[in-house]
Structure 1
Amino acid sequence: MEQDSNKKNNNSTLPIALGVGLLLSLGFNVYQFVDNKQSIETLNNSVKELSTVSSEKSQLEFDYKNLQDEFEQLKSSIVDNDGLLSNKEHNISIQQQEIDKILNDANASKADLAKAESMIKSLKSEIATYKSEIIRLEKENAILVKNNTLLTTERDSIQTNLNTERTERIAEREIATKKEEELSTTLSISNHKIQPLKVRNNGKEVTKDRAKKVDKIRVSFDIDRNSRAQSGQKEIYVSIRKPNGQIGKFGGADSGLLKLHSGDEVAYSDKVNVNYQNGAGQTVTFDWEDAAFEPGTYKIDIYQNGFKISQADVVLR
């Protein structure tokens, strides 16, 4: 009877044990399922975070690369750098080194990237300031170049004027010296005489003042001594102007135009060649004959070496 009772109890306990075991197994599986799900979610979040970090890093690297290219182009465009730009370039270089350190770190965190992003914004602002400074300096340099060009042009103009004036002064001195020398070597005359003459049948010459009775006019003068005039042939030009203003010309005369040192030209009636001897005086005489002399004043000018050296006149009634 007792054995039956124990057997009955054993049979009733077995289902309970089986049920508890089943519940425990089920609970473990549920726990394991929940734990795996949480692990998967954590993994997915980690993957998403890594993807986000990678994307942010790529964007930062892209923006940073553009800034670097812009900075290099700006530096290459500078013709004449100065101390101010060099200081700015030094500051930009320090910022680049710090940004490079973060972006080159394969394990850079989101916080690191946020710091790099802030630094890139600061670098962008610094490069913008650098660009503005370059533009300002270029404008100032353009003004300086323009001013220097004007100053150079003005200086060259002044120098050219000075050179021109110096050349003109030298030329004037040379001309003055030459003129003085020519003037000092020019012959002078004295005892300049003009005689209206009547030639009688016997050949005797007598002085007359009536035009109808005058056969010729004799011109005579003495050449004074001049120690500076060299010996040799000297050309003396004689201009005889009639009362009507015309230049008198006569047979056998060598008439023409003479250019003076003043630049003017005068007509002359005859040219006389004189063999001048330095330091010695001599008398020159020549006659002017005409078919018919008119009443009035006859003016006689004498030229030598481009200068007028004497003038005289005679009046015929």
Structure 2
Amino acid sequence: METQKKNNNSKILYISLSAAALLVIVLSVLYYMQNRELTEIVDGLTEEKNILTQEYQNLMFNFDSLQSDNDTLNYMLEMERQRIANLVEELKTIRATNTAKIREYQRELTTLRGVLRSYIIQIDSLNTINQELTRENIEHRRRYSQIQTSVRQLEATRATLEQKVTIASRLDVINMMAEGLNPSGRSTNRSSRTNRIKVCFTILRNVTAPVGMKEIYLRIERPDGQLLMHSRDDVFTHENTQINFSAKRAVEYGGEELDVCIFYNADVGELISGEYTADIFADGFHIGSHTFSLR
């Protein structure tokens, strides 16, 4: 009897250890696949930054190759060279995953391309008699065309990589709804009886999104386009811009589905009849929108 009991205990222990080992293997495979995808994204962003740095250096070379007999024009060219040199040094210090900064440097590169073109035209008009300078200007135009092609390719790469980063980390919501509540807490669709607006939704599961405490922001626009809010100081950052919000709520997100409700307390006479729009924001992204009506 004692031997049989020991055998049963051994079988249970063996099954438990096997199940634990299988779970560890599954989790390891999932972690490896997720880590490999994120590594590929970061590598792609690093390559994008390197290409952008090279484009700035090529642009500096083009400015260095410009020559003129006009002292004022030469001084302006030197100022632009120094400006590009400073941008190259700044670009080396930013992280490749800082896509907002990379986008700023991309726009600056486009501006400098226009500046380069204007100087080429000026030098060409000031030195039309000099055949050698004419030949060099043709070469500058060829290089400018190469810059345009490279910038278009870089922009396409950046757009693709940004889309991957957004898909991998942005939260998404479903089942979004909104309704008015009267002072008793009951649902109502009459604007005159509504003193609170309730907006509810479900945040979807996302294992690649950062976990922890998150601020969820709610913006509600009246039918006349006016934002419902209590203070001009109630702001958050969206696309590098500070914008106002109607209400917010802090939630702890662990990567799994999460039901959330946010309430806006309306001031007396603030609500009017018509169609309202409720928008949800988190982590700097617009993640949900819903329209509802009060009469």
Which is greater in Rg? 1
TM-score by length of 2: 0.48
TM-score by length of 1: 0.45
